[in-house]
Structure 1
Amino acid sequence: MLTLGEMLQASLWSRSLSPEQLRRVESEIITRQIPAGGFVCRKGEPVEHWVGVIDGLVKMTNLSADGKPTTFTGLPTGGWFGEGSLFKEEPRRYDVVALRNSHVAYMPKSTFNRLLDTSIEFNRFLLVQLNERLGQFIAMVEYDRLLEPDARVARSLAAMFNPHLYPGIGPQLQISQEEIGYLAGLSRQRANAGKTERIAVWGTVIGGALYFLFAAVPIYLTYSATLVDPAMTSELLAQDAQLVLPAFVKTHLPFYAQIIFYGALLSVIMSTASGTLLAPSVTISENIIKEFMPHHRMSQKTLLWITRSVVVAFTLLVVVYSLWSLQSETSIHQMVANAYKVTLACAFVPLVAGLYWKRASNTGAALSIALGFVVWIAMEFIAPDAALPPHFAGLIASAMGMLAGSQKRLEGRLKSGVGFFYNRG
């Protein structure tokens, strides 16, 4: 990890300073440790410092009116920024957030102005710095408009090796997939996708085919049981159909095959259990609770504690549901079917509409989820054995909610358009 003194020695602007001037500058600089997700500086605050990254990685970012973040650039070890805001003497127009634990230097405005008045090399450095930064942002606009995601990732990484802007980066860059996604304006999954779109597509297709193939193995084994030992199969079907497969494996398969089967079974149970707990917990923490936070943000520590709390809450709910299922003698098949009723009644329509319908809105999604859930639960109590299953009634209500909620949005647009032309007339 670099120290402030080592970072100053590596900075291009400090090479013309005398040892005494450099010691004075170093003594006036304030350093802070910024945790991952913490703010190095905030939008709208007075600009009182020129800021440098001693060690770590930060991003210059901003939020749209609806809370969508955008990243302007990444600032690795050795980079300095904020000189433009100091020149203009205006509030800062962007946030700077640490992508990892970072050691940051804050040079006071008075020190910056003294160097500006007394050092020709410092002025020359700032001219080149502003020119490099301008070129970087012009190139960024070009990349976003003309390049595919793969090329944008490559260009974002290449920009980190600018010898003038980031002299302390060195020949290697330690960076995670998530950080690459932030800097390139892509998701972590897209940043880690295949080398080409064709590879990414075929990887998905092959993975899906293998998923179905392995999921069908228990079906093949159970069908084999009906052929190999029909008497045992008929007897177990009369008692409990769930016993057919384990009894067939125990009776007719060799010992090594039993080890493979029961090992795979335990793996499936553990994987399903972890997915049942972690997937909804992360979704609720990241996509729901976080959206209600100021500026749709929270520190990584807070997000971790919220996720842990949601995991505990979901664990308790799953335990209660399991105990209820034991009391009501619900089979595994019925429990899985019940779980997918929630997805069908509440989530299917918002997901499909969000992907394929341009007029879908947040209001429509919220109304879709609410109506689907209410109608589904109500029908489970009122008419659980009706010709139309309760979860299909919930699906229909969910679709109606999406249409109604999005229609309100369209009406609002029409009204605003009519009012605009009416006012002009």
Structure 2
Amino acid sequence: MADLLDFGMTALGDLLTPRLAQRLRAGGSPVRYADRALIHARGDVRPGLSMVRSGSVRFGNPGSDGSYIVITVMGPGQCFGEFSLFADLPRTHDAVAIGETVVDQISRTAFDAILAEEPELSRIMLTAVTGRLHAAMELIDDMRRLPLPVRAAKLIWQMSRSSSRPSACVRCTQTELAFALGVSRVSSGKALAVLQKLGLVEPGYGQIGIPDRDRLEAWIGARAKLSALSA
């Protein structure tokens, strides 16, 4: 699921120097969670920063109608808990382990002690949080503006950005795609069927092929309501 984890966000672990990464890890306590174990619940107010060491963490909330909406999935190097750490705000979503997962739990006291000695950490944290907000703003606009097949195509294309080849294949199941889009498995399947009929994608077992990335990008661009942002 690695290709689907960040939705264009830079993981904190990718921004940290090896020394700072070691300081944070040493300041935290590694906690092991079994598959589907609850890491924290919506409304939890315990302050602290959590960094995924291994495995994955799914964030979502159940609705009163029995539905369950996943907002994102995080993997190794990604962090969560900034709301509680910096603003004393409650957790907004349930966090659940996907598979055997290890999370480094860093208390506010430990984090503040590290920050006092490592002022560079504040700039890195700000960069990570701002990048996440930037991606979230784009996603919100897409959800309100674009039809589901276009949103699905855009997400698949974004997941292929690390490839320099004309064709590409991203690791993503149709269930994971539905999670990322915030829709049902049936709805995401219909969107994929539209893209497949147009020859833009080739769904497979645990992956989605892109025969021609340039053609997919052009198709998205012709239907997007806003000009694309460059990094």
TM bin (shorter chain): 0.5 to 0.7
Residue in structure 1 matching 2:184, options 183, 187, 192: 187
1:178 partnered with 2:172: no
SS of 1:45's equivalent? coil
Matched to 1:41, the amino acid is: H
Query: Which whole-Å deviations, capped at 9, do the CAs of 1:90-147 have from their partners, x for residues lacking one?
Result: 3322211234433322122212112332322211011111211111211121111122
SS of 1:36's equivalent? coil
1:169 maps to what in 2? none
Query: For the residues of structure 2 that align with 1:158 and 1:75, how far apart are their CA atoms?
Result: 19
Query: Which whole-Å deviations, capped at 9, do the CAs of 1:25-56 have from their partners, x for residues lacking one?
Result: 43332223333332222112232321122222
1:114-263 equivalence runs, <5 A:
114-156=113-155, 174-193=171-190, 194-196=192-194, 199=197
Q: Report which of the two has the higher share of strand.
A: 2
- For residue 82 of structure 1, report the CA deviation from its aligned partner: 1.3
2:105 maps to what in 1? 106
1:42 maps to what in 2? 41
Distance 1:158 1:95, change over 3 A: farther
* Structure 1 portions without partners, runs of 5+: 1-7, 164-171, 201-425
CA contact (8 A) 2:47 2:81 kept: no
CA contact (8 A) 1:52 1:81 kept: yes
Matched to 1:113, the amino acid is: D
Q: Report which of the two has the higher share of helix.
A: 1
1:217-366 equivalence runs, <5 A:
none
Give the alignment's TM-score, normalised by structure 2. 0.63
CA contact (8 A) 1:76 1:160 kept: no
Distance 1:46 1:199, change over 3 A: same
Matched to 2:16, the amino acid is: W
Query: For the residues of structure 2 that align with 1:183 and 1:123, how far apart are their CA atoms?
Result: 29
Matched to 2:50, the amino acid is: V
* Structure 2 portions without partners, runs of 5+: 1-10, 163-168, 199-231
Query: For the residues of structure 2 that align with 1:105 and 1:82, how far apart are their CA atoms?
Result: 12
2:16 maps to what in 1? 13
Bigger relative contact order, structure 1 or 2, given CA contacts below 8 A and separation 6+?
Answer: 2
Query: For the residues of structure 1 that align with 2:186 and 2:172, how far apart are their CA atoms?
Result: 15
Query: Which whole-Å deviations, capped at 9, do the CAs of 1:194-249 have from their partners, x for residues lacking one?
Result: 4426939xxxxxxxxxxxxxxxxxxxxxxxxxxxxxxxxxxxxxxxxxxxxxxxxx
Distance 1:80 1:23, change over 3 A: closer
Larger Rg: 1
Query: For the residues of structure 1 that align with 2:150 and 2:119, how far apart are their CA atoms?
Result: 38
Give the alignment's TM-score, normalised by structure 1. 0.37
- For residue 86 of structure 1, report the CA deviation from its aligned partner: 0.9
SS of 1:196's equivalent? helix
1:52 partnered with 2:47: no
Aligned residues: 182
CA contact (8 A) 2:83 2:89 kept: no
Distance 1:116 1:173, change over 3 A: farther
RMSD: 3.4
Matched to 1:199, the amino acid is: K
Distance 1:147 1:137, change over 3 A: same
Matched to 2:176, the amino acid is: E
CA contact (8 A) 1:14 1:122 kept: no
Matched to 1:196, the amino acid is: V
Query: For the residues of structure 1 that align with 2:26 and 2:70, how far apart are their CA atoms?
Result: 32
Query: Which whole-Å deviations, capped at 9, do the CAs of 1:265-289 have from their partners, x for residues lacking one?
Result: xxxxxxxxxxxxxxxxxxxxxxxxx
Matched to 1:48, the amino acid is: P
SS of 2:92's equivalent? coil
1:369-380 equivalence runs, <5 A:
none
Matched to 2:194, the amino acid is: T
CA contact (8 A) 2:50 2:81 kept: yes
Residue range with higher mean Cα deviation, 130-139 or 189-198 = 189-198
Query: For the residues of structure 2 that align with 1:123 and 1:197, how far apart are their CA atoms?
Result: 42
